[in-house]
Structure 1
Amino acid sequence: MSFCKLVSFVLILHLLNSCLISCSSNDLSQIPKNFLSLAKREDFFDWMVGIRRRIHENPELGYEEVETSKLVKTELDKMGVSYKNPVAVTGVIGYVGTGHAPFVALRADMDALPIQEMVEWEHKSKIPGKMHACGHDAHTTMLLGAAKLLKEHQEELQGTVILVFQPAEEGGAGAKKIVEAGVLENVGAIFGLHVSNLLGLGQLSSREGLLMAGSGRFKATISGKGGHAALPQFAIDPVLAASNVILSLQHLVSREADPLDSQVVTVATFEGSDAFNVIPDSVTIGGTFRALLPKSFEQLKQRIVQVITTQASVNMCNATVDFLEDETPPFPPTVNNKTLHLFYKNVSVDMLGIENYVETLPVMVSEDFAFYQQAIPGHFSFVGMQNKSHSPMANPHSPFFEVNEELLPYGASLLASLATRYLLDSSSSPNKDEL
């Protein structure tokens, strides 16, 4: 091929790429497919994989995401995307578009978990006892991917996209701090997503209304009188009292809750003496409680206190209960806006077809994305990563949790499509406020 022909060929490709989104602005149904095609380009995909692996190798817990934030800022700088930092301690808030209304937000969480990774692969966590065991490394990568797609087609944005790189989703309520920082005050809607090992690769899933449960944590100290294990008559055994407490707590769901009103109480920690022949003075137990309905959540909270203190008293012990709300605020239920869900479903079907959209049932896991939904209309969804040829993937919060990187283009293009379509749908608004 001659030099002139080569230049002409490259110019044609550039023009085709530049108009790929603009040509489809008259047919909004083509936007998701076009973004997906761009995100699946070999260079684009390899770029996302590299980012995800760098984040995965260096996991950081809630409000400690210093290096992750630096990586995000570096990539945004390369794109020419402006941002604010720090927000909510280590958060990064990016901006793509006109700087004027309408505004729409996209969110990704950045924090890891205090888990020792057991997956053996080249890019295993380099930090002992810390691991991205919930896919937040993929979420951050997909939002950066969406940012790149949006920036490359910024002239098509009829408004402003706010990129929320959020710290501390895992119990730290980073979303609450983002809301309190006031950076979303003029935002009309916010979208978030989560990887799923239960859905096939590229499948998308959500539902209208109640999606995930509200959750809280509790810690109880049950005090008695210690003594020698051979002479229990001279002691007041808090271990026995705590055991009875745990059994009684299970009755809150099995015998007090309506079977159609989903609730969960789980005791996951039990700390006493580390000696085999010593009855300790006190025992500490801790766990979580969850409910889909706010009323049921509050009732469950009250009954947890009553059961623990009363059952301890029956065993001649005293008990105190702490819900740790200053350290880990309770998460409200995640409730998807009805209008946004219909919008999301239309975009999902346009991108992958009705056969790859799955209407899910409510689940008892929780998400601090719910704090955004309390402040502004919001929608949360799941993107699948289970490859049919792969053995069943481990659940989140497992030391064997893995991310199928083939899902990255799907999440990035979905986020970019939701933002672009939302702004196009909202662009008729006369409001021209600046953020």
Structure 2
Amino acid sequence: MGVSRWVFLIYSLLVIPPNPIGCLSSKEISEIPVSFLNFAKKAEVFDWMVGIRRRIHENPELGYEEFETSKLVREELDKMGIPYKYPVAVTGVVGFVGSGEPPFVALRADMDALAMQEMLEWEHKSKNPGKMHACGHDAHVAMLLGAAKILQEHREILKGTVVLVFQPAEEGGGGAKKMIDAGVIENVKAIFGLHVKPDLPVGEVESRPGSLLAGSGFFEAVISGKGGHAAIPQHSIDPIVAASNVIVSLQHLVSREADPLDSQVVTVGKFQGGGAFNVIPDSVTIGGTFRAFSKESLMQLRQRIEEVIVGQAAVQRCNATVNFLSTEKPFFPPTVNNKDLHNHFLKVASDMVGTANVKEMQPLMGSEDFSFFQEVIPGYFIFIGVKDEKNTKPASVHSPFFKINEDALPLGAALHASLAIRFLLESNAETPLLNQKLRDEL
């Protein structure tokens, strides 16, 4: 480098004041969330998001079967001129808005539905028997596409790249893990995710730093005895009695082995055995889930569940085999929100909806495979209110009567976009901070 160029570099570092957020002032940055929300509330944008959500709701697809949903996502990205990769993890789509250069920040929406029959009667009820969007993933996709539209319309102020992660198979299939294995978040500095909450009013959002949702696992056990006539039980080995003792003993893992200050759950939700009133069956199948807020507690539960099932079955002269279904239903780690990203969320959300509408929620024993992302990079997960004010007792997620208030879609889209763009602007501020260090040294 010539002397003149060194002189210019030193002059620029010492004399020209850096703008820590590029060409935007702090005031302009703080106004972005409301500006984005107003954009998302425009009739044409709002109606477009509602239409997408309803099309997906009418055609729910289970994990790794989201072919039509994925096609819809790609069609909308094509219309917006947003490049993407497909297929990723079977049906996943990954879009890119911005310069294509670092820094990278990711936004995630899950696409899959649940294997249940919708009981709510309305114009856009599920057309696929035995399948329903009862957890709001249809709204999540619509919100992320809305965020993509906002970001694409304002790409001139993007200082980096936003990665749009449309993920398959959140409902037990571990789609996030497959997306990670496919390299989706390589070089990504942080990731944000949203989830609808039916008992939280529209216009409010909530989350917390640290532990938010529990880690979870599933188990299934076959307890085998010896079948026979119910009138002569001494000639049989009754697996129903054995299974009953197993279930009672499993409850002691929480009530008598777990620290009362370390929240844990073991629930048996499946019990299948026998088909006649007067016949003792040869075997019984039970199954359930276990949850905890730390990976250590989760692994301890796993070990003790197997020991209790096998041991209690043996007491009743039965044999037992235990399957933790790790292939089809992988363990979900606890969802733990990054504390620095929590502060970022508070600033952005408060600027958008006001401090009074940003709540700190209590941890929940539900689980989320967004946690896989958080094991690799800093991540933050948020709940957004979708309560229907006409319904005083809204149905919970995973209910056949689940319903959302679509007025929440603009807020979800704008919050996604605001979190991402402000993160990129602040990430770009790191370079001027290095310049300041060099100033001090000079």
TM-score, normalised with respect to structure 1 = 0.92
Would you say the 8 A contact 2:210–2:339 is kept in 1? Answer: yes
Give how far 1:233 is off.
Answer: 1.2
The aligned residue for residue 422 of structure 1 is: 423
Q: Does 1:191 align with 2:187?
A: no
- Conserved in 2, the CA contact under 8 Å of 1:348 and 1:357? yes
Q: 1:286, CA displacement in angstroms?
A: 0.3
Taking the TM superposition and a 5 Å limit, the aligned residue runs for 1:34-433 are: 34-429=35-430
**Secondary structure, aligned partner of 1:85:** strand
Assess if the C-alpha contact under 8 Å between 2:388 and 2:404 holds in 1: no
The offset of 1:390, in angstroms, is 2.7
Native 8 Å contact 1:85 1:92 kept in 2: yes
Q: CA deviation at 1:429?
A: 4.7
1:349-392 CA deviation, whole Å, 9 max, x = no partner? 11001110110111100000000001111000100111434322
Q: Does 1:29 align with 2:30?
A: yes
Higher Rg of the two aligned structures: 2
Shift of 1:200: 1.2
Output the CA distance in 1 between the equivalents of 2:296 and 2:85.
37
Inter-partner Cα distance in structure 2 for 1:351 and 1:389: 25
Q: Write the distance in 1 (CA, Å) between the matches of 2:76 and 2:276.
A: 52
Aligned length: 410
Q: What's the TM-score, normalizing by structure 2?
A: 0.91
Q: Is the 8 A contact 1:238 1:282 kept in 2?
A: yes
Q: CA deviation at 1:427?
A: 1.4
**Partner-residue secondary structure (3-state), 2:188:** coil
What residue ranges of structure 2 are gaps of 5+ in the alignment?
A: 1-22, 433-442
Stretches of 4+ aligned residues off by more than 3 angstroms: 22-26, 428-431
Q: Is the 8 A contact 1:24 1:30 kept in 2?
A: no
When residues 229 and 255 of structure 1 are mapped into structure 2, their CA distance, relative to the original with a 3 A threshold, is same
User: In 2, distance between residues paired with 1:422 and 1:137?
Assistant: 26
SS in 2 for 1:106: strand
* Aligned residues of 2:218 and 2:290 also touching (Cα < 8 A): yes
Asked if 1 retains the 8 angstrom alpha-carbon contact of 2:198 and 2:388, the reply is no
The alpha carbon displacement at 1:225 in A equals 0.2
Preserved contact between residue 109 and residue 140 of structure 2 (Cα < 8 Å):
yes
What letter is aligned with 1:153? H
Provide the C-alpha distance between the structure 1 equivalents of 2:57 and 2:408, rounded to a whole number of angstroms: 16
Opposite residue 27 of structure 1, the aligned amino acid is E
Following superposition, the deviation at residue 247 of structure 1 comes to: 0.8
TM superposition shift of 1:430: 5.5
Output the amino acid matched with 1:77.
D
- String of CA shifts for 1:265-290, please: whole Å, max 9, x gaps: 00001111222222111100000000
Per-residue Cα deviation, 1:164-223 (whole angstroms, up to 9, x for no partner):
000000000000000010121110000001000121112110000111000000000100
- Secondary structure of 1:255's aligned partner: helix
Distance 1:164 1:372 in 2: 11
Q: What amino acid is aligned across from residue 94 of structure 2 in structure 1?
A: I
**Aligned to 2:117, what secondary structure does the other structure show?**
coil
CA deviation string 1:74-127 (max 9, x = no partner): 000000000000001100000000000110000000000000000000000000
Aligned match of 1:13: none
For 1:221, what is the secondary structure of its paired residue? strand
For 1:362 and 1:419, locate their aligned partners in 2 and report how far apart those are by CA, in whole Å: 25
Higher mean displacement: 380-389 or 95-104: 380-389
The one-letter code matched in structure 1 to 2:67 is V
Contact in 2 for aligned 1:111/1:170 (Cα 8 Å)? yes
Offset at residue 26 of structure 1 (A): 4.8
Task: Tell me the alpha carbon deviations over residues 8-44 of structure 1, each in whole angstroms, 9 at most, x when there is no partner.
Answer: xxxxxxxxxxxxxx87775211111110011111111
Percent identity between the aligned chains? 67
Of stretches 368-377 and 270-279 in structure 1, the one that deviates more from structure 2 is: 270-279
Letter aligned with residue 405 of structure 1: E
